[in-house]
Structure formats: structure tokens, C-alpha cells
Amino acid sequence: MSNHPPSFVLTKLYRKKSESKGTTYFTGRLGGARIALLKSNDVSDDGGEIWNLMISEAPPKRDQDAGQRPQEPERRQPAAAGRDWQRPSADDDQIPF
């Protein structure tokens, strides 16, 4: 029996090569975020590679650029571990931003 819980694919990253320097990196999307996995110039104490996960706002997908209306995401209620869960109203917000 495995000591690890079940796993699942969160997103896909695609291997790319920089045209200017020829360095390998990985890129993909996670919802509205663009993800890039870049090799650091630093190395770990044991000499292993260090990779930095960078996240930025992603541009709209191409089908949205063509004027097509994006699909409405499915609305789900959060799992409530046996209790009633309700988002507090905006009036109760202690830190408004």
C-alpha cells in the first residue's frame, strides 16, 4: 500500500526553448494565470537544480479575442464539512478592498 494520497493533473506545462539564449523553460495556464517554470542560476546545497515557478495574469484565450462569448463557469458551493457555510455580506467586511 502506498503512503501517498491519490494525485491528479492540475494543469499541463509545455517545454519551450528560448530563441535568444536557447534555454529550456516550461509554460502553461492555470485558470486566468500564466505559469512559467524557469531554471534558476542558483543551485541547492547538494548541487541540484533550482526552478522558479512564476505566475502572472494571462491574456484572454484566442477564442475570446475573436469576439466569442466565454462560457459561464459552473457555480459550486464550497464543501462545508457538515455545517452550513455562507459567505459574509460585504457590509461585514472588516478590510474592504
pLDDT digits (tens, 9 = 90+) for 15-65: 999 999 999 999 999 999 999 999 999 999 999 999 999 999 998 877 644
Identify any residues that bridge with 16 across adjacent strands, giving them in sequence order: 25
Identify any residues that bridge with 26 across adjacent strands, giving them in sequence order: 15, 37
Identify any residues that bridge with 43 across adjacent strands, giving them in sequence order: 49
The pLDDT of residue 54 is 97
**How is the chain split into domains, by residue range?**
19-60
Please tell me the pTM assigned to this model: 0.56
Q: What angle do CA 10, 32, 87 make, to 5 degrees?
A: 90
The pLDDT of residue 5 is 92
| All three cell numbers of 4 | 501517498
